């Protein structure tokens, strides 16, 4: 399981975010492959049940 910080979505898709929940969902969908890759990398570094993805996970 992972959580992504809202600031990451704002950085990945600034033109899409208008502050609404729907815009964050659209930003997630548009960046799904990058988000899943960051989550996969975090899990491989530390296997556990929960990971919070910050901007550092996307560098």
Count Cβ atoms within 10 A of the Cβ of residue 28 and give its class: 0-12 exposed, 13-18 middle, 19 or more buried: middle
Q: What is the mean pLDDT of residues 45-51?
A: 85
Q: Is the pLDDT of residue 6 over 90?
A: yes
Q: How many whole angstroms separate alpha carbon 44 and alpha carbon 14?
A: 29
Q: What is the pTM of this model?
A: 0.84
Condensed to tens digits (0 to 9), the pLDDT of residues 9-47 reads 999 999 999 999 999 999 999 999 999 999 999 999 888
pLDDT at 47: 82
């Amino acid at each position: 399981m992972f959580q992504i910080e809202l600031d990451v979505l704002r950085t990945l898709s600034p033109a899409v975010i208008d502050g609404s929940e729907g815009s964050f969902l659209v930003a997630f969908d548009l960046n799904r492959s990058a988000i899943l890759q960051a989550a996969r990398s975090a899990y491989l570094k530390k296997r556990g049940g929960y990971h919070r993805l910050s901007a550092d996970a996307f560098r």
